[in-house]
Amino acid sequence: MNTAVSPAEPTPARPSPLTLPVVLVGIVLVAMSISGTAVALPSIGRDLDASGSPLNWVVAGYNLAFAAMTLVAGAAADRVGRRRMFVTAALVFATGFAVTATGPSIALVDIARIVSGAGGAGVMAAGGAILASEYDGVARNRAFALMGTMAGVGIAVGPTLSGSLIAVAGWQGSFAVFAAIGLLVALGATRIRESRAGGARTDWYSGALFIASLTLLMFALLEAPALGWTHPAILACAAAGLIALAVFATSQRRSASPILAPALVANRTFMGWSMATLATSIGFLGALVFLPTYLQAAGGLSPAASGAVMLLLTAPVLVMPMSAAALVNRGVSAKALIVAALAAVVAGDLWLMALSPERPLASVAVPLLLIGIGMGVSFGITDGQAMALAPAEAVGMAAGFLNTLRGAAEALVIAAFSASITGLLRHRLGDGARAADVGAGRLGIDRAAELDAFTWSWRATQLGTGIVCLVLSIVAAALIFAHAPRRRP
């Protein structure tokens, strides 16, 4: 394995026994914080007298910071040290949660959540880079399958565990628990050996451009439903974001130490695996976040019952990553597996168009299983296959890029899915306030008409999601099969 190691430390024959458990705990902690925070929003809103956009930014701010910072954190980890970045990021993550737990105002809580998102980005990117630099071959496939499994565990149990913590200790206590575990992760990571790419310096100018471009674009998308798509501030942010993104892309070709090396992007097979990650994330997140609301409104399910139904989607993500990695290690084609996974996600998304208020559970059971299986297989093999194509000195950059795609997909899908359902409801019902209530699952006196509009809006939005996933899947498959993988030494 051709990994450059800090000359100040001898290279041990094997990774530290703490490497895998510490990284995996960090991964599951970040994943839980992504999926579980929404459960705390009603309590935060009541205690801090907050609603609307300021309250929504408790979740959106974390997602935006996570997506914007992951690529920068991954590239910086290669330069400053992967262990150092992981430890620092875990401390930042814990600090953000500690401030959130004690925040007296919604403004301070929003800022603290942005800090936590930046720390979570570093944990995910540096964690993936550590695994890629410490393990090889079958061991690497197993390590990344475990990483995918733990991410799935975090996403699946995050809402339930957060709800239990809130019931026992309040929302402040739940954030304090996350802060304490983050500190333990940082402490444990000090026992992992250090590795870095060498003497190249991090291009902070390009990093600032990338963060600015993604922040502006996401702000425009997240705030557009409230302000209007033609509002001057939305148009200005979108235009500025696109300009900053174009300048960033140009700067990467000229930079001596880019945060996204053009050679990595030019590797078609690597980009194919990256597009596969993007496609499965988009197909998974819309159902994960928004289907429980429909099930409660249409089927009269309790929050606990709708959460149990969602196990059809999340349970496969707990078991499929290791199964997929085991198949690859036994000689099954990773390309064939990812094509099957993409087909399952697309089929499940399009099948959800059959969503019916008369039989909501029967209409979602099989498609949820298909999406969950496809997502689980993707979690198990995409990172390992993509990272095997990255040069040893750029594993942090590659890990950051993959997690940036996931983080950006999460923030954008949540915003776009919500905007689509609300906009279609407004068109169908002719009343913006009524549309917002129905989209949140609060049906009025004319329940039959509102439920019909809700179902129609859901089906139309799901059709759009399925088409996007289908296009991305075709592109991913074409890139993956374009050239034989060029394995890094």
What mean pLDDT value characterizes the chain?
Answer: 80
Residue 485 in this model has a pLDDT that exceeds 60: no
pLDDT band at 115 (very low <50, low <70, confident <90, very high): very high
| Continuous H helices in 103-231 | 106-134, 137-189, 204-227
- pLDDT at res. 58: 81
- pLDDT at res. 87: 93
pLDDT band at 396 (very low <50, low <70, confident <90, very high): low
More confident: 364 or 407:
364
Q: What is the number of other CB atoms lying within 10 angstroms of the CB of residue 330?
A: 8
DSSP 257: S
302: left (phi over 0), alpha (psi -120 to 50) or beta: beta
Question: What's this model's pTM, rounded to 2 decimal places?
Answer: 0.72
Q: For residues 415 and 430, what is the distance between their CA atoms, to the nearest angstrom?
A: 21
- pLDDT at res. 91: 95
- pLDDT at res. 198: 61
Q: For residues 67 and 214, what is the distance between their CA atoms, to the nearest angstrom?
A: 8
Structure tokens at 444: 């009025």
Q: In CATH terms, is domain 1-201 a member of 1.20.1250.20?
A: yes
Identical fold between 1-201 and 267-481: yes
- pLDDT at res. 12: 42
What is the SS3 assignment for 260? coil
Nearest alpha carbon to residue 367 among 467, 274, 259, 288: 288
Q: What is the pLDDT of residues 1-23, one digit of tens each?
A: 333 333 444 444 577 778 888 99
Task: Tell me if 257 sits within 8 A of 201, measured CB to CB.
Answer: yes
More confident: 10 or 461:
461
Q: For residues 306 and 300, what is the distance between their CA atoms, to the nearest angstrom?
A: 9
Structure tokens at 120: 């979570």
Task: Tell me if 483 sits within 8 A of 269, measured CB to CB.
Answer: yes
Q: For residues 50 and 76, what is the distance between their CA atoms, to the nearest angstrom?
A: 36
Percent residues over pLDDT 70 in the chain: 88
Task: Tell me if 308 sits within 8 A of 365, measured CB to CB.
Answer: no
The segment with the largest mean pLDDT, out of 89-103, 420-434, 447-461, is 89-103
Residue 159 in this model has a pLDDT that exceeds 70: no
How big is the CA angle at 175 (ends 174 and 180), to the nearest 5 degrees?
Answer: 100
Q: What is the pLDDT of residues 337-353, one digit of tens each?
A: 999 999 999 999 999 99
**Tokens 């929404």 belong to which residue?**
38
**Tokens 């041990």 belong to which residue?**
12
Pick the CATH number of 267-481 from 1.10.3210.10, 1.20.1250.20, 3.90.230.10, 3.30.70.1450: 1.20.1250.20
- pLDDT at res. 483: 59
- pLDDT at res. 203: 65
Q: For residues 154 and 63, what is the distance between their CA atoms, to the nearest angstrom?
A: 15
Residue 241 in this model has a pLDDT that exceeds 90: no
Mean pLDDT of 372-396: 80
The domain limits of the chain are 1-201, 203-256, 267-481
65-74, 249-258, 320-329, 475-484: the lowest-pLDDT one: 249-258
Beta strands in 287-438 (DSSP E): none
Residue 210 in this model has a pLDDT that exceeds 90: no
Give the up-direction half-sphere exposure of residue 437: CA atoms within 13 A in the CB hemisphere.
13
More confident: 104 or 184:
184
- pLDDT at res. 420: 83
